[in-house]
Structure 1
């Protein structure tokens, strides 16, 4: 069995467990449903939607990745990705959203299988590094790894999730052939080893970020439990978390060429060179 065939089998199992069917989409009515689903998830500025119906139509028509997760006739998740440089090597996943438990995981596993069948070695995407649940999903559930910190990447995003904050992102790479990625796809989340001498560089102390100086080779960077709730309740505190994460995580990744090795103990495990 080829890697792509095994990946499709794993993806089908994840879809069945979630109670969804993954379908590739190209017809305008289906793409309109995706547009409205994304609106219901993020409530974006109407002039700045995550992706337009016309763009999805263009992506689908030119052999890119546009899929939906269906619970019967109800669309409960969707993913849009496009081919990126270097040619024939990387797929970039622009947006994935779901409203049913397990649908997002099923979509990503289908995306992995589709990418392998198309000859890609890796899939990349961005996410807000302050979102703990997304960090766990991307690094542990999927086995992707951050490799670049991007400051205010999308500019102002006046939607219900991001409003009032700067749009910092980390760019992650999902190396599709890595053994730990296949293990994660099979339902065994990736958990990096944390040595006994690892030290915290950022901790959550009664809801507030506290930066600590450390010289240890492995640094733990803790995240707030729910930054979206903090944004709504205390925008000033949310900004303090953003600045603290920039100081510690971006400082390690950019300033010291440190590598994020995974997610554990409520945050990132980062190893200095």
Structure 2
């Protein structure tokens, strides 16, 4: 991992490069007190309505006791600054699904948690980690696709239904299923701090662009299509709910439509747009 300190941290029988240049230490969690601390951290991040918590203390206890993944990231002062919970997924022995990860911004905890999670999975013979994220959030798309080397493999409209928290309230819960294939060259390069930039040929077309803060549909019949997302969807939800809704439906129609047709997302370009490659005859005939 770029910026990792020499040495490592051993937690739960797994040797983890858990100390970063920012002084973040990651370890597995097992006690009720630790889970209660995670619940308080997540409440501060999501500010959910009662019953809308991303994960409960009881569920974290059950996941941990059953051998699943629950881990916390701690700053140099020993305070919890991030946490993640996930469970083993089908097919048996191949995958971990990371259900929720939350971290304080600007502390490096999110990356440290993912590196720890990868080491945990590899030590158990797993091949991949999956998770969902909002396709409209630029920083998450850049983090997942560029910094980690994961790739979207499924578009999931309104995946969680209505969500009652400060981040998602008032919007539909479309999600991308990101798949992190742990031993692939793009992933190992990203973990070393050497992410591979997506290939964007000069004849790539804008399938979805932006003008004055609103989405502008374009062409989707080329081999490589760029799909833009808004600069800051969370602020836009509060300032202009109509524009935020327009982006949601436009990205669902264009990105979701392309993926449903079998097109592959191969990267995230200049922190602003998805790179989507089509492989059908129609695309090649329209080049």
TM-score by length of 2: 0.89
* Distance in 2, Cα, partners of 1:122 & 1:192: 21
* Distance in 2, Cα, partners of 1:244 & 1:48: 27
1:52 has 2:56 as partner: yes
| Counterpart pick for 1:136 among 142, 146, 149 | 142
For residues 88-167 of structure 1, the aligned pairs below 5 Å read: 88-99=93-104, 100-167=106-173
1:29 has 2:29 as partner: no
Partner residue of 2:283? none
* Distance in 2, Cα, partners of 1:53 & 1:137: 27
Is the helix fraction higher in 1 or 2?
1
Q: CA deviation at 1:206?
A: 1.9
Partner residue of 1:221? 227
* Distance in 1, Cα, partners of 2:49 & 2:245: 22
1:196 has 2:216 as partner: no
Unaligned runs of 5+ in 1: 1-7
* Distance in 2, Cα, partners of 1:150 & 1:166: 11
Partner residue of 1:5? none
**Does the CA-based 8 Å contact 1:260-1:271 persist in structure 2?**
yes
Which runs of structure 1 show a deviation greater than 6 angstroms over 4 or more consecutive aligned residues?
none
- RMSD over aligned CA atoms reads 1.4
Partner residue of 2:237? 231
**Does the CA-based 8 Å contact 2:45-2:102 persist in structure 1?**
yes
User: Deviation digits for residues 228-252 of structure 1, max 9, x if unmatched?
Assistant: 0000101111000001001100110
| Counterpart pick for 1:267 among 273, 279, 284 | 273
**Does the CA-based 8 Å contact 1:142-1:190 persist in structure 2?**
no
TM-score by length of 1: 0.94
* Distance in 1, Cα, partners of 2:22 & 2:121: 21
| Counterpart pick for 1:87 among 87, 92, 105 | 92
User: Deviation digits for residues 49-80 of structure 1, max 9, x if unmatched?
Assistant: 10000100000011111000011320000010
User: Deviation digits for residues 25-65 of structure 1, max 9, x if unmatched?
Assistant: 01000100001101101111121110000100000011111
* Distance in 1, Cα, partners of 2:273 & 2:195: 15
Q: CA deviation at 1:16?
A: 2.3
Unaligned runs of 5+ in 2: 1-7, 10-14, 280-287
* Distance in 2, Cα, partners of 1:46 & 1:152: 21
| Counterpart pick for 2:47 among 35, 43, 47 | 43
* Distance in 1, Cα, partners of 2:205 & 2:228: 11
Partner residue of 1:210? 216
TM-aligned CA distance change 1:11 to 1:182, over 3 Å: farther
